[in-house]
């Protein structure tokens, strides 16, 4: 169904001839399944090993080398005498280099073959639908959902198809659609139509998109698109349809190979034709054919000598080293030449969520009030280790471990984090990782509670599934959540009304727990908690608290901060004034998990001198393109130690071939004297000067144009 977001929910139901309460009949299901197919992304047909091997020989320079090696092999068969064995060395070495080059290329591409298939991870395995053959909701495989199905989703569910919301069964419905749109904050959905037919996905507030997660609430809707027709399916098709373009390196190598082949062909023909008059020389036995073959071999030898047979291997090795370094930074390169393309990049346009970050969060710092004396206030600041959503980490103060259960302030802080929360941790046994169920922010607070373990819950013998919410479950048994005041843009906070569950260490009496933006929560506070007492929140105390929050929120790490608060004796529900609902303040901050990944990306980009649009600075992995026209005075070889090492290795191998027996005999070379080396240097020096002059012209005139 096209533009379902512009239609009223009743119109969408009528389009599929379906009722929200009963769903599709078995006949309608079969008809729609035959029409639209299964709700899944088709697997990409990967290339065979043979196809990948052939691709490695599509480079023009490699083909010239392969041709030269084949001709050398053929001519080697006709060698006579002592040179019969040595004649096979040269073509054998060339073929060995080409085979090694192909092996490295195939291995790298096979490692990255699953790039598009990674999108299938966002396909949910199960879905909840209403069908006419059942009176209640039923769980079915997500692939069996068809357009027209009535689908139910609730907190923690992964949306199984593109769905037009028809009714919301909770006060609010919030969806984490960061994997599709890059929005780091969950989006509040509604059922009203969006009249703009050209609305982007971010503006389609009445739609649920396949692969996104329900952060809070419960809703029912009608599936309007499945499989490749979904928004995530369209992205998959765009990725699969992308045509491969030759990289700058491949273009230059092709140009070089084309020019080299023309020059070599011209030289070979010239050498052979110049010696036509010597074909009948007595040294060839007076045979014109023998002479022609002899000078043809000379021409081929010149061609092979002119071809830089080590160039493909050197390029492949350098690119493979580049991909290995990038893999250590969690960047998978699908094609080796892409490494050099990154080096030529001058501007990178990137979004943040899902690219530089993963929309995962974890608590890294928190503080409570230690003591207040007059206008002076001291804070206890704590650091929390561990990243991602794994409930493993340690709370430390100035580097020393802290037993959180011995501090009343931390016990109350953990209680607020656990109860003022609609999310939870879940262990995915198939993937072997902990995942969020609900909001990323609230899941980070759940993870903090597990790390604090304020009631010393025994967790060592628990399975990973049981460990996910062990400490939160204990707190939720001590305090019962009566009702929730959902987060609103006006109050910028969320509140829960709780009553005691059973006698324990938990605070007695009814409580109102609050969490939200520090500015809004602190403005509504009258006191701060110091131990088990409450102290008036004076101006200097407030200024000290806000100064720390500003430091954390604008410092190098740029943490997102939350304030936690409690009302000890809350009013009854009907008497509440939501603008003044707290009398106590504590503060905890948390940040995006993988903040280190963002910093690595920043440093990585800074090294390449490339401008990055939106959030990064600059970048460098390779400097081949940018150093092409740089003077040796400004960018000497020793500024890059890898280049110095490569040059040293190359020169060492050349000297070994020239001076270490029996290599000179195998490669048909002769020793060079000191005088001959001086002649080489004298001839090279003018070349360097001419090269510097050409670079100067390119920098100051050609590039400016």
Question: Does the annotation count 351 as an active-site position?
Answer: yes
Q: Which one-letter DSSP state was computed for residue 127?
A: E
Q: Distance between alpha carbon 358 and the CA centroid of its chain, in Å?
A: 8
Whether 119 contacts 232, CB under 8 Å: yes
What pairs with residue 365 in β-bridges? Answer: 383, 589
Work out whether the CA dihedral 320, 326, 328, 333 comes out positive or negative.
Answer: negative
Q: What do you get for the CA distance between the two ends of the chain, in Å? A: 51
Q: How many helices (H) and strands (E) in the chain?
A: 22, 24
Q: Which one-letter DSSP state was computed for residue 702?
A: I
Peptide bond connecting 662 to the previous residue in cis, omega within 30 degrees of 0 = yes
Closest among 566, 561, 595, 588 to 448, alpha carbons compared: 588
Distances (CA, A) of 310 to 94, 191, 249, 315, 378: 8, 65, 16, 9, 68
What are the b/e assignments for 209-219, b being 16+ CB within 10 Å? bbbbbbbbbbb
Phi, psi of 214 (to 5 degrees): -80, 115
CA atoms within 13 A on the CB side of 411: 17
Catalytic residue among 237, 254, 281, 351: 351
Q: Which one-letter DSSP state was computed for residue 116?
A: T
Work out whether the CA dihedral 320, 251, 631, 310 comes out positive or negative.
Answer: positive
In three-state form (DSSP H/G/I as H, E/B as E, the rest C), the secondary structure along 491-519 is CCEEEEEEEECCCCCCCCCCEEEEEECHH
Pairing of strands 347-349, 611-613: parallel
Catalytic residues: 351
């Amino acid at each position: 169904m096209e533009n379902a977001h512009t239609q009223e929910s009743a119109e969408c139901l009528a389009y599929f001839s379906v009722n929200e309460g009963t769903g599709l009949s078995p006949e309608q299901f079969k008809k729609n399944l035959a029409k639209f197919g299964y709700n899944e992304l088709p697997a990409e047909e990967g290339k065979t090993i043979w196809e990948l091997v052939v691709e490695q020989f599509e480079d023009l320079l490699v083909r010239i080398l392969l041709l030269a090696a084949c001709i050398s092999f053929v001519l080697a068969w006709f060698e006579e005498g002592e040179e019969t064995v040595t004649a096979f060395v040269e073509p054998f070495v060339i073929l060995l280099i080409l085979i090694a080059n192909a092996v490295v290329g195939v291995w790298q591409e096979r490692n990255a073959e699953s790039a598009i298939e990674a999108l299938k991870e966002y396909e949910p395995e199960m879905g909840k639908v209403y069908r006419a053959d059942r009176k209640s909701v039923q769980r079915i495989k997500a692939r069996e959902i068809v357009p027209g199905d009535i689908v139910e989703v609730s907190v923690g569910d992964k949306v199984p198809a593109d769905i037009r919301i028809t009714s919301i069964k909770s006060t609010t419905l919030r969806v984490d659609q960061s994997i599709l749109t890059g929005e780091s904050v969950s989006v509040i959905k509604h059922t009203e139509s969006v009249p703009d037919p050209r609305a982007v996905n971010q503006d389609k507030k009445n739609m649920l998109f396949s692969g996104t997660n329900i952060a809070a609430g419960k809703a029912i809707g009608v599936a309007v698109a499945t499989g490749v027709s979904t928004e995530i399916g369209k992205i998959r098709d765009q990725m699969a349809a992308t045509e491969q373009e030759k990289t700058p390196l491949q273009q230059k190598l092709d140009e070089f190979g084309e020019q080299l082949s023309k020059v070599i062909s011209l030289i070979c023909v010239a050498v052979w034709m110049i010696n036509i008059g010597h074909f009948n020389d007595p040294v060839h036995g007076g045979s014109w054919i023998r002479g022609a073959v002899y000078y043809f071999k000379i021409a081929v030898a010149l061609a092979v000598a002119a071809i830089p047979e080590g160039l493909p291997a050197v390029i492949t090795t350098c690119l493979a080293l580049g991909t290995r370094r990038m893999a250590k930074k969690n960047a998978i390169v699908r094609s080796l030449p892409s490494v050099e393309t990154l080096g030529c990049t001058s501007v990178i346009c990137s979004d943040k969520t899902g690219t530089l970050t993963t929309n995962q969060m974890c608590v890294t710092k928190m503080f409570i009030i230690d003591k207040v004396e007059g206008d002076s206030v001291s804070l206890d600041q704590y650091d929390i280790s561990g990243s991602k959503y794994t409930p493993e980490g340690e709370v430390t103060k100035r580097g020393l471990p802290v037993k959180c259960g011995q501090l009343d302030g931390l016990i109350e802080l953990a209680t607020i984090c656990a109860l003022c929360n609609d999310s939870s941790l879940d262990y995915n046994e198939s993937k072997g990782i902990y995942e969020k169920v609900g909001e990323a922010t609230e899941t980070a607070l759940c993870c903090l509670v597990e790390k604090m373990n304020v009631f010393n819950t025994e967790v060592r013998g628990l399975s990973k599934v049981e460990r996910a919410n062990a400490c939160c479950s204990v707190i939720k048994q001590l305090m019962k959540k009566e009702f929730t005041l959902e987060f609103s843009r006006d109050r910028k906070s969320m509140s829960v009304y709780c009553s005691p569950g059973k006698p324990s260490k938990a605070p007695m009496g009814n409580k109102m727990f609050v969490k939200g933006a520090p500015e809004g929560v602190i403005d509504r506070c009258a006191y701060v908690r110091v131990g088990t007492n409450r102290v008036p929140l004076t101006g200097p105390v407030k200024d000290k608290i806000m100064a720390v929050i500003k430091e954390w929120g604008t410092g190098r790490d740029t943490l997102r901060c939350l304030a936690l608060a409690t009302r000890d004796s809350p009013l009854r529900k009907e008497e509440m004034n939501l603008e003044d609902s707290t009398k106590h303040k504590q503060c905890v901050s948390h940040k995006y998990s993988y903040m280190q990944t963002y910093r690595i990306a920043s440093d990585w980009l800074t090294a390449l001198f490339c401008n990055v649009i939106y959030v990064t600075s600059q970048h460098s992995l390779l400097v081949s393109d940018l150093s092409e026209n740089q003077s040796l005075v400004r960018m000497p070889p020793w500024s890059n130690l890898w280049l110095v090492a490569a040059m040293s290795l190359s020169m060492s191998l050349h000297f070994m071939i020239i001076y270490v027996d029996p290599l000179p005999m195998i490669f048909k070379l002769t020793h060079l004297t000191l005088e001959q080396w001086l002649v080489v240097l004298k001839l090279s020096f003018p070349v360097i000067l001419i090269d510097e002059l050409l670079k100067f012209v390119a920098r100051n005139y050609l590039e400016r144009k």
